[in-house]
């Protein structure tokens, strides 16, 4: 969750909250009964009541996100997220943040491709003030011109730094290759050209279109009873507009591989980012894809990429591949970094393993190991109130059933070797989209459908 840089001033107070957040949940917390709470005013939430620590964690999201930025002004939603807590109601920015600091309230906003998200964490005894501060941020933000210029300056500084960051350049170019002019190909944080043109009116227009009750999803975990939570949800979100006014976003399949781009940059380490069209979250092959990705490039030292690229050849410190899914598309995406003089060898090793698993699929032993890892790692991923709230929100956004946590391991177990082989062919049968950033021209021998080299901004 992206937090506004000004919160760094409040580390001492926030540390109180984070210490509580890091306390492990009880072993049964992740499996605790998830309630479908409906407030007196009709606000819905997934809720786990847990008094293990005197802490409440809430995650919530509105549909829209960066895909609702004007086509010529990427970065508007990101600026809204950075400015909502810069003064609201009768509080200016300084006073607002002093209130957060005094009560150790952790509040932040961010944008993803499809959602405008918020996070709120507080100690139980400070819940009324925390929810009230959130209410005013959502309903009556100032969007003061001076605050806009200050935040804009910070974002521009970050964007300038990214022009010399191999990972940032690779990520941007990979999205351009995959999605072109589609909203998913735009940068959520904006560009050096677009951010200076954003006005206060743009911020107000975005907020009025996106922040509305009909697309709101909420997850709450913590030491609060359902009745009290329902009242606080009504007070916080009940005054928002009933319906959002979103611009439709078309579905898109990522560009067909192989394509490759090279961005020359004089840096010690060459970055290689790679991708292929993915599998949507609601696709019947998704769980098989999730498991077989663990075999190829998932967490832990047993993945093929880790073994071949790091352990066997010593080409990179880390290499990974992951599934990324959105509302209107999906990607397999991976990344590594290596010495410039070994970039070509690294890229060939990655491509060999991708082709191999696409052609042959995993072995039964690899499939069993991947299943075991994925099932065992779930409890570690849900071991705090904050993590559980984040997961419950994501399950709602993915349209999963409320008992998904209980069913997940059985879904993983149900994946057969044939299922995994089919998913591997779908994910990697066409090779890869690849972006290489660094001083390694030998690494970018162009495939037939390659793009021309491009220059860094």
pLDDT, tens digit (0-9, with 9 covering 90-100), for 158-199 = 999 999 999 999 999 999 999 999 999 999 999 999 999 999
What is the C-alpha to C-alpha distance for residues 271 and 165, in angstroms, rounded to an integer?
10
Give 26 or 209, the one with higher predicted confidence: 209
Taking the domains of the chain in order of start, what are their residue ranges?
5-237, 259-443
What was the pLDDT predicted at 3?
Answer: 42
Mean pLDDT of 339-354: 93
pLDDT at 17 over 60: no
- Sign of the dihedral through C-alpha 337, 341, 347, 349: negative
pLDDT tier at 444, thresholds 50, 70, 90:
low
Mean pLDDT of 360-367: 97
pLDDT at 452 over 90: no
The number of beta carbons lying within 10 Å of the beta carbon of residue 375 is: 14
Q: What are phi and psi of 260, to 5 degrees?
A: -145, 140
What whole-number percentage of the chain has pLDDT above 70?
A: 89
Query: What homologous superfamily is domain 5-237 in, according to CATH?
Result: Metalloenzyme, LuxS/M16 peptidase-like (3.30.830.10)
- Are 5-237 and 259-443 in the same CATH fold? yes
Mean pLDDT of 237-266: 96
What is the C-alpha to C-alpha distance for residues 379 and 145, in angstroms, rounded to an integer?
45
pLDDT at 68 over 70: yes
Residue 103 three-state SS: coil
Exposure string (b/e) for 139-157, b if CB count within 10 Å is 16 or more? bebbbeeebbebbbeebee
CATH architecture of the domain formed by 259-443: 2-Layer Sandwich (3.30)
What was the pLDDT predicted at 302?
Answer: 79
pLDDT at 347 over 60: yes
What was the pLDDT predicted at 449?
Answer: 44
What is the C-alpha to C-alpha distance for residues 35 and 218, in angstroms, rounded to an integer?
12
3-state helix, strand, coil in the chain (%, to 5): 45, 20, 35
What was the pLDDT predicted at 27?
Answer: 37
pLDDT tier at 382, thresholds 50, 70, 90:
confident
What was the pLDDT predicted at 77?
Answer: 98
pLDDT at 26 over 50: no
pLDDT at 9 over 70: no
């Amino acid at each position: 969750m992206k937090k506004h840089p000004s919160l760094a001033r409040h580390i001492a107070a926030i540390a109180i909250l984070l210490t509580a957040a890091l306390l492990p949940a009880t072993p049964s917390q992740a499996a605790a009964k998830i309630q479908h709470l409906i407030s007196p005013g009709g606000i819905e939430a997934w809720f786990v009541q847990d008094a293990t620590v005197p802490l409440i964690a809430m995650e919530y999201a509105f549909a829209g996100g960066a895909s609702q930025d004007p086509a010529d002004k990427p970065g508007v939603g990101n600026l809204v997220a950075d400015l909502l807590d810069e003064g609201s109601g009768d509080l200016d920015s300084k006073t607002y943040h002093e209130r957060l600091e005094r009560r150790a309230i952790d509040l932040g906003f961010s944008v993803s491709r499809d959602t405008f998200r918020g996070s709120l964490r507080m100690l139980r005894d400070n819940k009324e003030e925390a929810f009230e501060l959130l209410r005013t941020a959502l309903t009556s933000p100032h969007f003061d011109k001076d605050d806009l210029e200050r935040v804009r300056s910070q974002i521009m500084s970050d964007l300038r730094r990214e022009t010399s960051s191999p990972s940032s350049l690779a990520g941007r170019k990979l999205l351009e290759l995959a999605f072109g002019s589609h909203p998913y190909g735009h940068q959520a944080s904006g560009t050096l050209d677009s951010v200076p043109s954003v006005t206060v009116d743009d911020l107000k227009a975005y907020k009025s279109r996106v922040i509305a009750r009909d697309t709101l999803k909420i997850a709450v975990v913590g030491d609060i009873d359902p009745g009290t939570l329902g009242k606080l949800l009504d007070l916080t979100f009940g005054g928002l507009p009933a319906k959002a006014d979103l611009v439709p976003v078309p579905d898109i399949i990522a560009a067909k591989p192989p394509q490759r781009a090279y961005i020359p940059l004089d840096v010690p380490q060459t970055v290689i980012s790679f991708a292929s069209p993915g599998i949507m979250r609601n696709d019947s092959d998704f769980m098989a894809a999730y498991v077989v990705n663990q075999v190829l490039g998932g967490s832990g030292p047993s993945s093929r990429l880790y073994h071949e690229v790091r352990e066997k050849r010593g080409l990179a410190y880390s290499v990974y591949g992951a599934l990324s899914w959105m509302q209107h598309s999906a990607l397999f995406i991976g990344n590594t970094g290596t010495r410039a003089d070994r970039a070509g060898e690294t890229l060939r090793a990655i491509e060999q393993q991708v082709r191999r698993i696409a052609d042959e699929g995993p072995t039964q032993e690899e499939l069993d190991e991947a299943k075991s890892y994925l099932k065992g790692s779930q409890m570690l991923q849900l071991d705090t109130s904050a993590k559980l709230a984040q997961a419950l929100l994501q399950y709602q956004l993915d349209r999963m059933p409320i008992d998904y946590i209980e069913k997940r391991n059985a879904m993983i177990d149900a994946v057969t070797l044939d299922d995994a082989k089919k998913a591997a062919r779908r994910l990697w049968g066409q090779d890869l989209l690849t972006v290489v950033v660094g001083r390694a021209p030998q690494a970018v021998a162009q495939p037939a459908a390659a793009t021309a080299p491009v220059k860094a901004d």
